[in-house]
Structure 1
């Protein structure tokens, strides 16, 4: 697991996840909830995944383009709760 520096922007993204830690979120949901642009949020999601704090999967979209769904891992939840909440 790679160390992740929890900057204020990372904390904002983690706070969106922590509103319902078991829920999957998609990128636009995290962008709107955090108030930060996609060019800021997506690199954070990459770092969270690389660090083992989050995981992602492609949804089965059916009649529209698929979205990637993100959620915190158990380690990510424990670390985020300890540092963000």
Structure 2
């Protein structure tokens, strides 16, 4: 799991029931929107997030509608395990060394 993906998941896990939008997540995680939005799409694709479009009049609000994301039940269960696995020290590969004098 990439570090940016870990940062996005940590932003959601901090307040698991809160809906978040892309630039809000990016600001908290310290990531640009071009990094955050593909991660959100992947996490939604695997069922860890669900999204909805904000119901506003963009002209009245003076901005485009936001797409809000929140953790699904599956994401709330799976994300902490995946983050723990990502932080676990990796064991080096067990590669036998050649006997001395052999190439």
**What is the root-mean-square deviation of aligned Cα atoms in Å?**
1.3
Q: Which residues of structure 2 form unaligned runs of 5+?
A: 85-103
State the secondary structure of the residue aligned to 1:84.
helix
Cα distance between partner residues in 1 of 2:82 and 2:72: 15
Cα distance between partner residues in 2 of 1:28 and 1:61: 17
The question of 1:44 aligning with 2:39 is answered yes
Name segments (4+ residues, structure 1) moved above 3 Å. Answer: none
Larger Rg belongs to: 2
Q: Which residues of structure 1 form unaligned runs of 5+?
A: 1-5
What's the TM-score, normalizing by structure 2? Answer: 0.72
Written as runs of structure 1 = structure 2, the 5 A alignment for 1:21-32 is 21-32=16-27
Cα distance between partner residues in 1 of 2:56 and 2:23: 15
Correspondence for 2:4: 9
Cα offsets for 1:18-71 (capped at 9, x unmatched): 110000001111110110111111000010111111011011224323110001
Question: Would you say how many aligned residue pairs link Structure 1 and Structure 2?
Answer: 80
Correspondence for 1:56: 51
What's the TM-score, normalizing by structure 1? Answer: 0.86
